[in-house]
Structure 1
Amino acid sequence: MNTLSSHVLDTTLGKPAQGIALTLTLPDGSTLSGETDNDGRFNNWGVEDGFAAGVYTLRFHCKPYLVETHGKSFYPHIDITFELDENGGHYHVPLLISPFGFSSYRGS
């Protein structure tokens, strides 16, 4: 069974990014949504049987947070597209953001 979590960190402040809306697009085109908690994390997609293998896109709606926190945002949103394997286990997609840069990787 595949599970999915995310964590957003504001590298300018060195703190978690709370309140960032997330949209996950599934391989069939349907979407799920959520919002990062006070520790910048989200993992409650409401999927009881886990995620099927396939290509997913996780959109981080970061502009409202970056404008409120830093006064500017070069990115209205950040999309990270990744592929889940059959029975790949837990997938963690962290995002490091600042008003003018971002980075991501497969976490644990």
Structure 2
Amino acid sequence: MEPRSSPLTTHVLDTTSGLPARGLCLCLSRLEDPDQQWTVLRESHTDADGRCPGLLRPGQMKPGTYKLSFDTEGYWKKMGQESFYPYIEVVFTITNETQKFHVPLLLSPWSYTTYRGS
């Protein structure tokens, strides 16, 4: 279970099975000024519920542009499935670091959907 205090969460569901996407590798990065380079903040993988606990610690989030990169090719290969997208990058902007942000990902071998959750 994700810590309640984590200001940023994600949840990945495998829509082909209707189950959480367990063991999906992901990377959280932040775009840093002035050189506009991505700084890796956390590399992890989803748990049995398709979640990645503690992406950011309280106080670690600040306004800016963030990116969640999901290794979908690795996930689908483990499932014995061919896929179209080798990875998915979800880039989003945080303007108020006091809010909670949830980035769900609905995943199939041929498509994906994401949105700002609550």
Q: TM-score, normalised by structure 1?
A: 0.90
Match of 1:64 among 69, 74, 90: 74
Query: 2:11 maps to which residue?
Result: 7
How far is the alpha carbon of 1:70 from its aligned partner? Answer: 4.7
Alpha-carbon deviations, 1:52-103, whole Å to 9, x = none?
Answer: 0011111011111112225211111000000011235100000000000000
Counterpart code for 2:26: L
SS in 1 for 2:85: coil
Query: 2:3 maps to which residue?
Result: none
How far is the alpha carbon of 1:44 from its aligned partner? Answer: 1.4
SS in 2 for 1:74: coil
TM-align CA RMSD: 1.8
Alpha-carbon deviations, 1:6-46, whole Å to 9, x = none?
Answer: 00000000000000111111122210211100000013135
User: Matched residue pairs, number?
Assistant: 108
Instruction: Say which is worse superposed, 43-52 or 17-26, in terms of deviation.
Output: 43-52
Structure 2: any 5+ residue segments left out of the alignment? Answer: 1-5, 33-37
Query: 2:27 maps to which residue?
Result: 23
Match of 1:33 among 30, 43, 53: 43
Instruction: Give, in whole Å, the separation in 1 of the partners of 2:26 and 2:18.
Output: 21
How far is the alpha carbon of 1:4 from its aligned partner? Answer: 0.4
Q: Is the 8 A contact 1:4 1:43 kept in 2?
A: no
Q: TM-score, normalised by structure 2?
A: 0.83
